[in-house]
Amino acid sequence: MTGPSELPGAGSHRGLRVRRLGIDTHQEAVVYMRQDCPVCRAEGFLTHPRVRVRSRTASAIATINQVVSGLLRPLEVGLSESAWQRLGVAEGDEVFFSHPAPLDSLSLLRAKIYGSRFGDRALATIIGDIGAGRYSDIHLASFITACAARGLDDREMLELTRAMVASGDRLDWGAGPVVDKHCVGGLPGNRTTPIVVSIVAACGLTMPKTSSRAITSPAGTADTMETMAPVDLDLPDMRRVVEQEGGCVVWGGAVRLSPIDDTLIRVERALDIDSEGQLVASVLSKKAAAGSTHLVLDLPVGPTAKVRSDVDAARLEAALTLVGTSLGMRVRCIRTDGRQPVGRGIGPALEARDVLAVLQDRADAPADLRDRALALAGALLELGGAAAAGAGAAAAGAVLADGRAWRKFQAICEAQGGMRMPPVAAYRHPVTAAKGGRVTGIDNRAIAKAAKLAGAPSAKAAGLDLHVRLNQTVAAGEPLFTLHAESQGELDYALDYVSTHPLAVRVEEA
Amino acid sequence: MTGPSELPGAGSHRGLRVRRLGIDTHQEAVVYMRQDCPVCRAEGFLTHPRVRVRSRTASAIATINQVVSGLLRPLEVGLSESAWQRLGVAEGDEVFFSHPAPLDSLSLLRAKIYGSRFGDRALATIIGDIGAGRYSDIHLASFITACAARGLDDREMLELTRAMVASGDRLDWGAGPVVDKHCVGGLPGNRTTPIVVSIVAACGLTMPKTSSRAITSPAGTADTMETMAPVDLDLPDMRRVVEQEGGCVVWGGAVRLSPIDDTLIRVERALDIDSEGQLVASVLSKKAAAGSTHLVLDLPVGPTAKVRSDVDAARLEAALTLVGTSLGMRVRCIRTDGRQPVGRGIGPALEARDVLAVLQDRADAPADLRDRALALAGALLELGGAAAAGAGAAAAGAVLADGRAWRKFQAICEAQGGMRMPPVAAYRHPVTAAKGGRVTGIDNRAIAKAAKLAGAPSAKAAGLDLHVRLNQTVAAGEPLFTLHAESQGELDYALDYVSTHPLAVRVEEA
């Protein structure tokens, strides 16, 4: 590996002209090079060649894809979208190539693979390299797998979390408690956030909530909130809303909070790996970067939730509390029932409908969603000093009952750009019980999958409406849930899935 | 995940028209889809979407890259070279998309990551999925990392090897011993194969040698042999040569021997991971698939060789012997000196020159190359029953001394398509000792890197000629090695590297 010299044949002072091919290769930067290009020849092509690309203003490490067709002209190099953005170039700009510096942090990763723990600064170095785009997907997958196979001890988790916080922006809300909540995923319909924010902000606490869009679920909090108000706020707008109303529910994509987390999650999802260390670092790095000081964590436990058993929950709680406390946050974990979806609607608009019913304190509001939101809001009120120990849930209930939470929610929506009503799907189809009996199981994952196939979250009105709860008795032919879609094709597609997966809701004869 | 239905919006009977973009994405199949394409919308794009593509004659799993430019017309889908080849399509053919079946073998991989051993058939299932192109680079990297982190026991290594053999073709040479040799890499210039084949074939044994081209080294045996004779033979031609001469030295690329090995090696190189289990499976699967019955393995041991210590060598020998024997092969391992390169030349033509000098039994032939070749040939003669125990090396020496090996080599070259002389480089530059003293270290990796930067192996005449050996005394200004290149640019490039890495050859004052 050499230092600064350019690759042979490309000439010391001669580069290639960039062309934006408009190909989105996910986060990995890719350069497309003609087969006859000297850089291809020098790097060889049998392994996984990576090259350093330098523009007038920036540089990046990219993977080479060789072009064997006439797609590119001589002395032209194609750039993927991520390479284009990293290099900050314009069409036809000249870029230069050199050997990338050796990726020294790979030796730290290898040591972990072979059984050492990550030493001081090792994780900071690796996360720094990931942040600089030096890791290809192959390297990322190896890092994720090594962390899962070898595990991370408390100190490693703390270091990883710190490094991930340092990789992005960090919000500062001044003095006073900044409260936050997070649910350790896997439970469809568990959309407590807009309710919790409204209650605690109505009680005078500060809760600047940044939420994600769905990655593999039928709705993220940002998707649901977006059916009721704009969520695409930049940081100054977000500050204005929080200063005015004490809280907000916006999409976190406009601020770079622990951006490495998104990179790692993408690869974890592809592998379907959830490791405790990565989970702790993912949750807490986002919260620490968001400037939260008091944090309530909702851990649903159930056979088809992310946390499967009380033993797993206890271990995770201990790690979350230790790392969170070390980062200066006050953390409280609440273990909740994760055996079935929460509320009735699954999908952005259907969940928003449930949220509105609870906020309006309507008699037909789903009791489980209401109770969970009150428990979490109560815990936050206690943790943030706005209610005495043990009195939080009652205080939260009072704020909901007297309309203050509902008024606060409307005010937040107006401040975010104007309140609106969630859309309703034009295509619906009920799915009925084949036989009578008792509901003995609801598969969170199958329910989520059906909602996604019906179009959620990109079709906002799509999803499903669950009509039954665990242990309820149903008659043959009674509807178990109704699929909602914005097109007949998507409705058919979801129905096709449901007909081949009848155990999404299991009914057993007594 | 559903079964046979097509994705929504693409319509049940309507596909997309393929366009060959001519992009070589290594082995991973990629489809390029417009952002507005319904498949993109249905699959989402935040994780690592994989889709099943079906042509009239074949189907493949591919990764989706989204196209946000005008590169593709509506209802057109771009295919990478690997996708194009797997699908067997012609320009404009229609292809259809569906959700890929869930990759069940990922759960077997996850179990390994979390500490179980691979159960019965687990490795066969995983290797089957890799062979069918169902693993993306992310999955492959996770598999490689899991095997390295958790290790493979003897039974797992045997299963992996068997599965890799089953993934490709298997050659059958009829009755009688089929001898073979392999060097567990990492030592530049260790080009004994053409000499060994000539000796043992001259003694009447059958040695149908398939060799690889360089992946990350300055020369593979196939690259070196190609400077003296054609190596690009198909199986019928290879059989003809072996039937006629008893041996051959051809490139293995024309036959699919353990093709999964190449896939795994590509990812291992990117991670720079060498695990014992993968190494054993890699070496032995190729040999078993080639129909070898008697195998001699050369294990160079040295601080910059692949095997670093005698402890590592002993463990590797035990594993190779056990797995090889279980596959029905007779295996003998020979531990050799791996502290410095072998012979003088590094690079295809320069190594060929040394090989010819040994075969012609010339006085100036490198003694170390000659001695190593005789030791390996002698072991094969003993193992294959052509020499008594302990008498192999002497028998091999006699065949070399009386010209029979040289005549056999010429006959093999003629049978492979005609003998030729290796080319000589037009550009050369000596690198001299800065001070006098004793040569106390030669870095195999740095020497290999310099030879590659000079153009090897694609520039056949390029590489370097090493003039000194360990412990030799040199005077200041005396040449340590000479760089050979086919262009001034490549020569300069290698010189630039050498000037920043003076410790490739370490000289210390007495």
Over the stretch B493-508, which tens digit does the pLDDT of each residue have?
Answer: 889 888 888 878 999 9
| A213: closest chain B residue by CA | B46
For residue A55, how far is the Cα from the chain centroid? 32
| Active site (annotated) includes residue A120 | no
Inter-chain touch B142–A273, beta carbons under 8 Å: yes
> Which residues of A fall within a CB distance of 8 Å from B41?
458
Closest CA to B149 of B179, B123, B118, B112: B112
Query: At B345, is the pLDDT very low, low, confident or very high (cuts 50, 70, 90)?
Result: very high
Q: What 8-state DSSP symbol labels residue A178? A: B
Closest CA to A64 of A140, A142, A136: A136
Query: At B492, is the pLDDT very low, low, confident or very high (cuts 50, 70, 90)?
Result: confident
Question: What's the confidence (pLDDT) of residue A3?
Answer: 35
Question: What's the confidence (pLDDT) of residue B14?
Answer: 59
Query: At B42, is the pLDDT very low, low, confident or very high (cuts 50, 70, 90)?
Result: low
Question: What's the confidence (pLDDT) of residue A48?
Answer: 54
| A70: closest chain B residue by CA | B22
Q: State the Cα–Cα distance between residues B315 and B335, nearest whole angstrom.
A: 12
Question: What's the confidence (pLDDT) of residue B3?
Answer: 35
Q: Kindly give, in sequence order, each residue whose CB lies less than 8 Å from that of residue B324, ignoring residues fewer than 6 positions away.
A: B284, B287, B295, B330, B331
Contact B187, B364 (CB under 8 A): no
- For the segment B89-142, what is each residue's pLDDT rounded down to a tens digit? 999 999 988 777 778 899 999 999 999 999 989 999 999 999 988 898 999 999
| B49: closest chain A residue by CA | A270
Sorted by where each starts, the structural domains of chain B and their CATH numbers stand as 16-98 (2.40.40.20), 105-151 (no CATH), 179-254+274-415 (3.40.1030.10), 427-508 (3.90.1170.30)
Contact A229, A421 (CB under 8 A): no
Give CA angle at A223 (A197, A22), nearest 5°: 135
- For the segment B14-35, what is each residue's pLDDT rounded down to a tens digit? 588 999 999 988 778 999 998 8
Q: State the Cα–Cα distance between residues A352 and A357, nearest whole angstrom.
A: 9
Three-class secondary structure of residue A288 per DSSP = helix
Q: State the Cα–Cα distance between residues A286 and A302, nearest whole angstrom.
A: 25
Q: Which long-range contacts (CB under 8 A, 24 or more apart) does B33-36 make?
A: B33/B64, B33/B65, B33/B66, B33/B67, B33/B72, B33/B77, B33/B78, B34/B66, B34/B67, B34/B72, B34/B74, B34/B76, B35/A24, B35/B66, B35/B67, B35/B68, B36/B74
Q: State the Cα–Cα distance between residues B191 and B304, nearest whole angstrom.
A: 18
- Higher-confidence residue of B6 and B48: namely B48
Query: Quick one: what percent of chain A has pLDDT higher than 90?
Result: 72
Inter-chain touch A23–B69, beta carbons under 8 Å: yes
Question: What's the confidence (pLDDT) of residue A38?
Answer: 66
Question: What's the confidence (pLDDT) of residue B328?
Answer: 96
Question: What's the confidence (pLDDT) of residue A52?
Answer: 86
Closest CA to A35 of A62, A58, A15, A64: A64
Count of CA atoms in the C-beta half-sphere (13 A) of A226: 22
Query: At B38, is the pLDDT very low, low, confident or very high (cuts 50, 70, 90)?
Result: low
Q: How many residues does chain A have?
A: 510
For residue B219, how far is the Cα from the chain centroid? 10
Q: How many CB atoms lie within 10 A of CB A176?
A: 11
Question: What's the confidence (pLDDT) of residue A1?
Answer: 31
Contact B18, B91 (CB under 8 A): yes
For chain B, the average pLDDT equals 91
Inter-chain touch A5–B493, beta carbons under 8 Å: yes
Question: What's the confidence (pLDDT) of residue A43?
Answer: 52
Residue from A1, A7, A23 whose CB has the most chain B CBs within 10 Å, to mutate? A23
Closest CA to B424 of B479, B356, B325: B356
Question: A135-139, A200-204, A249-253, B97-101: lowest mean pLDDT where?
Answer: B97-101
Using CB atoms, pick whichever of B3, B47, B110 lies closest to residue A266.
B47
Question: A102-106, A128-132, B142-146: lowest mean pLDDT where?
Answer: A102-106
Residue with tokens 């509506």: B74
Question: What's the confidence (pLDDT) of residue B46?
Answer: 43
For residue B104, how far is the Cα from the chain centroid? 30
Asked if the model's pLDDT at residue B249 lies above 80, the reply is yes
Using CB atoms, pick whichever of A41, A144, A267 lies closest to residue B458.
A41
Using CB atoms, pick whichever of B26, B138, B144 lies closest to residue A267.
B138
Asked if the model's pLDDT at residue B8 lies above 60, the reply is no
> Which residues of B fall within a CB distance of 8 Å from A492?
8
Give CA angle at A86 (A80, A89), nearest 5°: 80
Asked if the model's pLDDT at residue B271 lies above 70, the reply is yes
- Higher-confidence residue of A98 and B339: namely B339
> Which residues of B fall within a CB distance of 8 Å from A500?
2-3
Q: What is the distance in angstroms between the CA of the first residue and the CA of the last residue of chain B?
A: 71
Asked if the model's pLDDT at residue A37 lies above 80, the reply is no
- For the segment B414-442, what is each residue's pLDDT rounded down to a tens digit? 999 999 999 999 999 999 999 999 999 99
- For the segment B356-412, what is each residue's pLDDT rounded down to a tens digit? 999 999 999 999 999 999 999 999 999 999 999 999 999 999 999 999 999 999 999
> Which residues of A fall within a CB distance of 8 Å from B1?
449
Q: State the Cα–Cα distance between residues B27 and B267, nearest whole angstrom.
A: 10
> Which residues of A fall within a CB distance of 8 Å from B23?
32, 65-69, 71
Inter-chain touch B142–A145, beta carbons under 8 Å: yes
Question: What's the confidence (pLDDT) of residue A220?
Answer: 92
Selecting among A137, A274, A361, A371, the annotated active-site residue is A274
Inter-chain touch B8–A270, beta carbons under 8 Å: no
Q: Kindly give, in sequence order, each residue whose CB lies less than 8 Å from that of residue A349, ignoring residues fewer than 6 positions away.
A: A224, A227, A422, A423, A424, A425, A460, A461, A462, A463
Asked if the model's pLDDT at residue A479 lies above 90, the reply is yes
Q: State the Cα–Cα distance between residues A240 and A247, nearest whole angstrom.
A: 10
Q: How many CB atoms lie within 10 A of CB B177?
A: 18
Inter-chain touch A142–B69, beta carbons under 8 Å: no
Inter-chain touch A114–B148, beta carbons under 8 Å: yes
Tell me the average pLDDT across A42-65.
77
- Phi, psi (deg, nearest 5) at residue B429: -150, 125
- For the segment B438-478, what is each residue's pLDDT rounded down to a tens digit? 999 999 889 998 998 898 998 999 999 999 999 999 999 99
Q: State the Cα–Cα distance between residues A438 and A474, nearest whole angstrom.
A: 6
Question: What's the confidence (pLDDT) of residue B11?
Answer: 40
Contact B457, B348 (CB under 8 A): yes
Question: What's the confidence (pLDDT) of residue A182?
Answer: 95
